[in-house]
Amino acid sequence: MNIRTQVLLWGAQRVSAAVLALCVIVHLATIVYAVRNGLDAAEILGRTRGNPSWAAFYAVFVAAVTVHAPIGLRSILSETFGWRGRGLDVAMFAVALTLLTWGSRAVYAVFGA
Amino acid sequence: MTALKVAVWRGGESGHFQEFEVPRLASQTVLDVVTYIQRSLDPTLSYRFACRVGMCGSCAMTVNGKARWTCRTHVSRVAVDDRLELAPLANLPTVKDLVTDMSAFFDKWAAARGRFRGDTTRKDDFARVKPDSPRRKLVDEAIECIGCGVCYSSCDVVSWNPDYLGPAALNRAWTLCNDVRDVDRRARLEAVAGDAGCHACHTQMGCTERCPKQLSPTAAIAGLKRAALAAALKGEL
């Protein structure tokens, strides 16, 4: 991986971290609201399905996780196990695709199904 | 007069700690202790020093588990129950006893393009750099490095990633990036960016915590990260 890509990945991780900070706060606040008001699964889905704002919010959340997690995992694997090079980059790309797939499925199930 | 119990690393990469008893004196530095051992107890002990006044950066060792400059470290500040443990600097190969091979440390200064390159000749006028200009102030904050290796030895990222350039080399690169006379900025940013450069830093600040000159390589590295990202976004990297 060339130097420019490495630097841009670092930048992407910082930007996605800022997005995640906001997303996690909203997500936790939503959980607290749902629990305190005693909402069950059906009531939660009743409010989220067909709501484009929640769909957009969680789509952004999933996108931020897809960018952030593999870049961090790449550093952890590299520093802990000495794994470097193209194999690591390909594996992390696969992790990103997996996260994107699972996250998109969850967004679709909660908001679009 | 009380005595210090001093455990000193003997050998190379493999070895053992040898115990010595050293008379405890007022205003005694750790370097005084090592010198006493070498001159009065065991002349085969190897260690480095030169100036003895905190300028040359050659006497750094691991004292009770932490990298320190020994000539300016008073025993009273670091001895626990009148005991000292002295070992060579971490993250560098041990040559013998308290002497490390610092080749990798200085090679990384070169790899980070830590050498000034201007484009003027002796026929040109002096460059005039205002002391209160923003870039000159950034240089001031980082320029007093004595190359002792304490930061390099205290950096966990160096121990995890042997290719990592380390705090001192990156700090040096940052001073040159802010030198308005230097013309090597772009190549230097490329040399210090990425996985083996400034972007590998975890901002744990071990270097800043331990720097005997109270510099902040962490701040210098953060500056390099921003500068390199800006260059990458502009397509200059």
pLDDT digits (tens, 9 = 90+) for A82-103: 999 999 999 999 999 999 999 9
If asked whether residues B145 and B214 sit together in one domain, one would say yes
Assign B69 to helix, strand or coil.
strand
If asked whether residues B211 and B171 sit together in one domain, one would say yes
Residue B175 pLDDT greater than 90, yes or no: yes
- Give the residue from B78, B100, B122 where a domain finishes: B100
If asked whether residues B107 and B202 sit together in one domain, one would say yes
If asked whether residues B142 and B92 sit together in one domain, one would say no
Q: Are B19 and B84 in contact (CB under 8 A)?
A: no
How high is the pLDDT of residue A59?
96
Q: How confident is the model at residue B14 (pLDDT cuts 50, 70, 90)?
A: very high
Domain range for B155 = 103-233
Query: Would you give the distance in Å from CA B67 to the centre of its chain?
Result: 9
Question: Can you tell me the ipTM of this complex?
Answer: 0.85
Segment B53-72 shows an average pLDDT of 97
Residues of chain A with pLDDT under 50: none
DSSP B12-64: SSSEEEEEEEEE--TT-BHHHHHHHIIIII-TT-----S-SSSSS---EEEET
If asked whether residues B107 and B223 sit together in one domain, one would say yes
Phi, psi of B115 (to 5 degrees): -115, 130
Handedness of CA B106, B107, B113, B118 (dihedral sign): positive
The amino acid occupying position B220 is: A
Q: Which residues of B213-223 are buried (b: 16+ CB within 10 A; e: fewer)?
A: bebbbbbbbeb
Cα distance from A11 to chain B (closest Cα, Å)? 7
Segment B35-61 shows an average pLDDT of 97
What is d(CA A105, CA B70) in angstroms, rounded to the nearest whole number?
60
| Nearest one of A6, A112, A110 to B164, comparing CA atoms | A6
User: Where are the domains positioned within chain A?
Assistant: 3-112
How high is the pLDDT of residue B68?
98
Q: Do the chains contact at B194 and A8, CB–CB below 8 Å?
A: no
What is d(CA A65, CA A104) in angstroms, rounded to the nearest whole number?
11
Max distance between CA atoms of chain B, in angstroms, equals 67
CATH of A3-112, one of 3.40.50, 3.90.660, 1.10.8, 1.20.1300: 1.20.1300
How high is the pLDDT of residue B1?
66
Segment B175-204 shows an average pLDDT of 96
Q: Does A11 touch chain B (CB under 8 A)?
A: yes
> Left if phi > 0, otherwise alpha if psi is -120 to 50, otherwise beta: which for B179?
beta
The C-alpha angle with vertex A55 and arms to A49 and A60, in degrees rounded to 5, equals: 160
- Chosen for mutation from B192, B221, B233, B237 (greatest number of chain A CBs closer than 10 Å) is B237
How high is the pLDDT of residue A112?
79
Residues written for chain B: 237
How high is the pLDDT of residue A113?
63
How high is the pLDDT of residue B187?
95
Could you tell me the CA-to-CA distances from B59 to A103, B27, B72, B134, B165 in Å, in that order? 55, 18, 10, 34, 21
Q: Are A90 and B170 in contact (CB under 8 A)?
A: no
Segment B65-84 shows an average pLDDT of 96
Q: Does B222 touch chain A (CB under 8 A)?
A: no
Q: Does B190 touch chain A (CB under 8 A)?
A: yes
Cβ atoms < 10 Å from Cβ of A41: 8
Instruction: Considering only the beta carbons, identify the residue of A6, A79, A80 that sits closest to B194.
Output: A6
Residue B28 pLDDT greater than 90, yes or no: yes
Q: Are B226 and B201 in contact (CB under 8 A)?
A: no
- Give the residue from B67, B100, B133 where a domain finishes: B100
Cβ atoms < 10 Å from Cβ of B231: 19
Q: Which residues of B97-108 are buried (b: 16+ CB within 10 A; e: fewer)?
A: bbbbebebbeeb
Counting residues of chain B whose pLDDT is more than 70, the rounded percentage is: 100
Residues of B in contact with A80 (CB under 8 A): 160
How high is the pLDDT of residue A41?
87
Residue B237 pLDDT greater than 90, yes or no: no
Residues of A in contact with B190 (CB under 8 A): 3
Residue B139 pLDDT greater than 70, yes or no: yes
- Whole-number mean pLDDT of chain B? 96
Cα distance from B236 to chain A (closest Cα, Å)? 9
If asked whether residues B11 and B47 sit together in one domain, one would say yes
Q: Do the chains contact at A4 and B232, CB–CB below 8 Å?
A: yes
CATH number of the domain at B216, please: 1.10.1060.10
| Nearest one of B90, B13, B11 to B45, comparing CA atoms | B11
Q: How many CA atoms lie within 13 A of B184 on its CB side?
A: 14
Q: Do the chains contact at A6 and B160, CB–CB below 8 Å?
A: no
